[in-house]
Amino acid sequence: MNYTDAKKEFEHYLDGYDRNNDKVRLKIIHTYGVVHDMEDICRRMNLSLEDTELAKIIALLHDIGRFEQLKRFDSFEPTTMDHAAYGVQVLFEEGMIRRFVPKNQWDDIICTAIARHSDFKLEGISDSRTLLHARLIRDADKLDNCRVKLEDDLLVFMGMSGEDIGAQVITQKVYDTALSCQCIYSPDRITKMDYWVSYVAYFYDIYFRASFDIIEEHDYLNKIIDRIPYSNPDTKNKMETIRTRLTEFIHHAHGYEWI
């Protein structure tokens, strides 16, 4: 198992897609961003070299299904394709995993981590090492999604300008969910502001203290909230309340430890 070799194969895989397409380009950048954040988390947690290499390969492959989704539907919406399930199909049912990892001893861990990385809740995993890697990829994915929300073109991934987003309302169910320290269930999102709230509410699903430390060090919460100009007074007030609740949660969260 070697991340450098797996990366070479991943680059060959990407040759089958339009690298000049804005959404494809964003997903390529996101993939390597997740790898970078994964390496940072593993270093802070003092994980073994083997677990670090394994975690980086999972990060490299976690969104492999996204590229076919974009090719077929030009959309990230979950209603068009379950990209995690498709990634598992390509890698394990069609056997592509052997291009990236020659031996099969880590297949169960890789398969479960990729299959479950975008689940609303992570439940039902009893093996401790598998659970570790399932939690790691979910944290690293969220950390790079912070960068996406701060750097990438809103028109590309939101389909709307910041000004138009900030003029919208936050629906009551989404607001109540955010204040109850829970993630937003995707089908509950109606307005683009609901989506924006969901992008900070997913901090409630962070697992490791190392990840919380990265969030605080980069001031991700405040920067994401402040990217949108809130011209709707009610929306602005609600976002300030959400900011306060999440600031307290992030600062005091202990996170899970790995021994």
Q: What is the CA radius of gyration of the chain?
A: 18
Closest CA to 169 of 237, 82, 111: 237
Instruction: Give kind and range of the element (H or E) at residue 54.
Output: helix 49-61
CB neighbourhood size of 20 (10 A): 7
Would you tell me the crossing angle of helices 220-227 and 233-252 to the nearest 10 degrees? Answer: 170
* DSSP-derived 3-state class of residue 10: helix
* DSSP-derived 3-state class of residue 189: coil
Rounded-to-integer distance, Cα 259 and Cα 246, Å = 28
Tokens representing residue 125 in the block: 């995993």
Q: What are phi and psi of 17, to 5 degrees?
A: -130, 160
Q: How far apart are the first and last CA of the chain?
A: 23
Identify the pLDDT of residue 85.
Answer: 85
pTM over the 0.95 mark: no
Distances (CA, A) of 103 to 7, 112, 124, 161: 16, 17, 26, 46
> For the chain (length 259 residues), average pLDDT per consecutive 10?
94 86 85 96 96 97 83 68 82 90 94 91 92 96 93 87 97 97 94 96 94 95 97 98 95 63
Which domains are present in the chain?
1-152 (1.10.3210.10), 153-259 (no CATH)
CB neighbourhood size of 46 (10 A): 9
Q: 155, 164 in Cβ contact below 8 A?
A: no
Would you tell me the crossing angle of helices 49-61 and 128-151 to the nearest 10 degrees? Answer: 50
Identify the pLDDT of residue 87.
Answer: 83
Burial class (CB in 10 A: 0-12, 13-18, 19+), 248: exposed
Rounded-to-integer distance, Cα 140 and Cα 146, Å = 10
Burial class (CB in 10 A: 0-12, 13-18, 19+), 106: buried
